[in-house]
Amino acid sequence: MIKVTFLGTSGSAPTKDRGLPSVAVTYEGDTLLFDCGEGAQRQMLNYGINISRIKSIFITHMHGDHVIGVAGLVRTLALNHRTEPLNIFVPKGSEKGVAALMLFDNALINYPVIINGVSAGIVYKGKGFVVRAFTLKHTVKTYGYSLAEDDRMRFDTEKCRRYGINGTMFSTLLKNKQIRVGRKTVRLDEVAHKVKGLKIVYSTDTRPVASTVAESKDADLLIHEASFGEQLKRLAAERMHSTAAEAAQIAKKARVKELVLFHMSARYRNADVLQDEARRIFKNTVVAKDGMQIILGGKKGP
């Protein structure tokens, strides 16, 4: 199960209802943060994310609305007596900027913080999944991230029962691709089939780019910035952002299952106009709200 929690969904500046950008992805009990805007740790408290379970933080770029929350978060983890290392991933060349956020007040950070400069490609391997970085197009060096679960084999319960496969025989069958049962050799493909792993893509801040389409192909969930509506598409281009309609075009080209609009300008007190514009192009679109949760294969929370 993969749970996605939207901690902050505004762009550039917060509003009364929207915090600054941060998304928590929880997989097998561990949490990865994608961006860490100001106030992210308080939002985690509000929305039931265990701060102590954060394994890694992935920063898209070094604009303040996406990274300033790191300063307070690493301090809170120290106050909570963390001993486990914390990995922070940033675009290559930005490492000193994140280090400065951590050290500006000489706070005692008594656990290892490892700052990793990333380029496009696999940047993190977890148990059962990988995280990849891909290039975006913004006013500074920026990367999007995808989290892809490993493909896995699903056994046919009835067939396994019929052949007498049980207990440790499953692991043996997975390892050797076949197993001897009595006088018969049973192949893995006779009693199991491959299930494609789930995939989430996080793309902000950016103009529409082919790399997002390529990385998002057939993804279960695309989280894409939608800073502006079509009336401000010229402004979006000038500031190297995307409109809701442009995000929808990306989703359509990539054939994703669901699009979530994210990083809306604070001028949109009601983001329905952005959702409407996107849905004309890609029907399965929703606007992110702070506290919204998506369990892949399940239902959205409030």
Identify the burial level of 16 via C-beta atoms within 10 angstroms of its C-beta, where 0-12 means exposed, 13-18 middle and 19 or more buried: exposed
Check 65, 205, 220, 290 and give the catalytic one: 65
Sequence-distant (6+) residues with CB within 8 A of 35 are 21, 22, 23, 58, 59, 60, 66, 67, 204
Q: What is the pLDDT of residue 152?
A: 82
Is the per-residue pLDDT at 301 higher than 70?
no
Token pair in block for residue 242? 């995307």
Sequence spans of domains, the chain: 2-151+196-295, 153-192
pLDDT band at 283 (very low <50, low <70, confident <90, very high): very high
- pTM of structure: 0.90
CATH classification (class only), 2-151+196-295:
alpha beta
pLDDT one-digit tens code per residue, 136-189? 999 999 999 999 999 888 888 898 888 898 999 888 888 899 999 988 898 898
Contacts of 152 (CB under 8 A, 6+ apart): 194, 195, 197
218 is catalytic: no
What digits encode the pLDDT tens for the residues 235-258? 999 999 999 999 999 999 999 999
| pLDDT confidence of residue 32 | 98
Per the prediction, the chain carries an average pLDDT of 94
